[in-house]
A and B are shown apart, each in its own frame.
Chain A
């Protein structure tokens, strides 16, 4: 019981840090995935006097993924009130050319602005419609969401860091005496602090294993997956190898740093 208690406080502190870190990773993945969705659905429409050379336009604007001409047939069909086929063909030739531009990624307002200016600098292009109002609203919402999550993650990090520092003081008090006694009999620092490092590595492993279990469960939970489906995105909630290695690395780093701080702050009792 005492042994469990000894480990619990550090394991809980580490687990909350790992939890907030993984939540941050999930949110970041969700936002990126959502951005891809938005980018796929977002396009700029340009109007040109004559046919555009798609290769030239793409090479001048790296953000552009594709340009496709919009067929005027639908518009002409509406106007078609007894026009002859010849007149329709003539009308087609005199109509300006409409193009739909899709982008490589969801752009920032600055990127849209730059793209519009670049396109307008082409003498053949007379108008660019970038739907900037809609875009700005969505983009700002995304930024706000990311900021809120960042603040949340930082708050958790601060609180858990305080917890870890409190734990550090307890450990310092608990291990100082033993380290001093071992030192008085000539034990090198690595030997007198070996227990401390063993404990911290063990706690880091426990916290990582718990985080692994928790997020593995979450990633296969129907409820969690349905939430992502609801907003139309599919992401990897928890990669059992890549994410686990990140969590394990962070837990190891933090707990070994904790042990190292205790060793460095250790003073022999005189």
Chain B
């Protein structure tokens, strides 16, 4: 089975601060569904940031989608990010753009044709039940709706890997369920590798998943 992520003796820290992840080694197979849990401040989000290259490894090696992220060049990093879908805790939607255009962002960056882009966005808007809000701006939507837009954006370009940082934190049940359904669908139907950082793993999951737990800077798989 192909490895999407290979971490070897990976250490992570922000500049001039103590090490957050200390010499961790793990791997993630293609089509895996992974939950990462841990106490607040344990380094879950830090690990996720390192997976999309926002934080460079201090020590060891981290290979994502065949790209070594230690000392990675800007061009290679952009290439990798084009194939990743990210869902942020704070949504990170572009406020000046309509939600339709926000969902289009990865498709624009990947150079998709206009008709393909529009069809894909229409379909995703239906999936996240926001078709009627297409022309609105992010700040006109509720938190749950904004997160659904962020989810649609992460799925729009059929990425090989989806990284989600507490995607259902503070969301109502309806929005949470929609998001889990979309993540499960992407994993089971499109064989997309999904990594979710969360405090709570949902009780009912329709896909097999692995569970990594972070404690005191080390990562271990929970059986």
A interface residue numbers (CB < 8 A to B): 177-178, 180-189, 191, 268, 270
Whether B106 is near chain A, meaning CB under 8 Å from some CB there, is yes
- B-side interface residues, number (CB < 8 Å): 26
Cβ-defined contact, B109 with A181, below 8 A: no
Is B160 part of the contact surface with A, judged by Cβ < 8 Å?
A: no
What string of 1s and 0s marks CB contacts (under 8 Å) between B65-95 and chain A?
Answer: 0000000001101111111101000001111
Within 8 Å of chain A (Cβ to Cβ): is B96?
yes
Contact across chains for A182 and B105 when beta carbons are under 8 A apart: yes
Closest chain-B Cβ to A7's Cβ sits at a distance in Å of 14
Q: Contact at A191–B86, with CB atoms within 8 Å?
A: no
Specify which of B14, B49, B81, B95 is in contact with A185 (CB 8 Å cutoff).
Answer: B81
Tell whether B54 is near chain A: CB-to-CB under 8 Å: yes
Contact of B86 with A184 in the complex, beta carbons under 8 Å: yes
Q: For A184, A185, A189, A191, which residue has the most chain B Cβ atoms within 10 angstroms?
A: A185
**Contact across chains for B96 and A187 when beta carbons are under 8 A apart:** no
Question: Nearest residue in A to B110 (C-beta to C-beta)?
Answer: A186
Q: Are B54 and A184 neighbours in the complex by a CB distance under 8 Å?
A: yes
B residues in contact (CB < 8 Å) with A? 14, 49, 52, 54-55, 74-75, 77-84, 86, 92-96, 105-106, 108-110
A186 touches B109 (CB 8 A): yes
In the bound complex, CA of A32 to CA of B54 (Å) = 59
User: From residue A49, how far is it (CB to closest CB) to chain B in Å?
Assistant: 83
Q: Give every chain B residue within 8 A of A270 (Cβ-Cβ).
A: 14, 49, 54-55
The answer to whether B96 and A178 touch across the interface, beta carbons within 8 angstroms, is yes
Question: In the complex the two chains form, what is the Cα distance from A191 to B111 in whole Å?
Answer: 11
With a CB–CB cut-off of 8 A, which chain A residues contact B79? 186
Query: Would you call A181 and B94 a contact (CB within 8 A)?
Result: yes
Interface pairs (25), CB distance under 8 Å: A177-B94, A178-B96, A181-B92, A181-B94, A181-B105, A182-B105, A183-B78, A184-B52, A184-B54, A184-B86, A185-B86, A185-B105, A185-B106, A185-B109, A186-B78, A186-B80, A186-B82, A186-B83, A186-B109, A187-B78, A187-B109, A188-B75, A191-B108, A270-B14, A270-B49
- C-alpha spacing A89/B223, complex, angstroms: 133
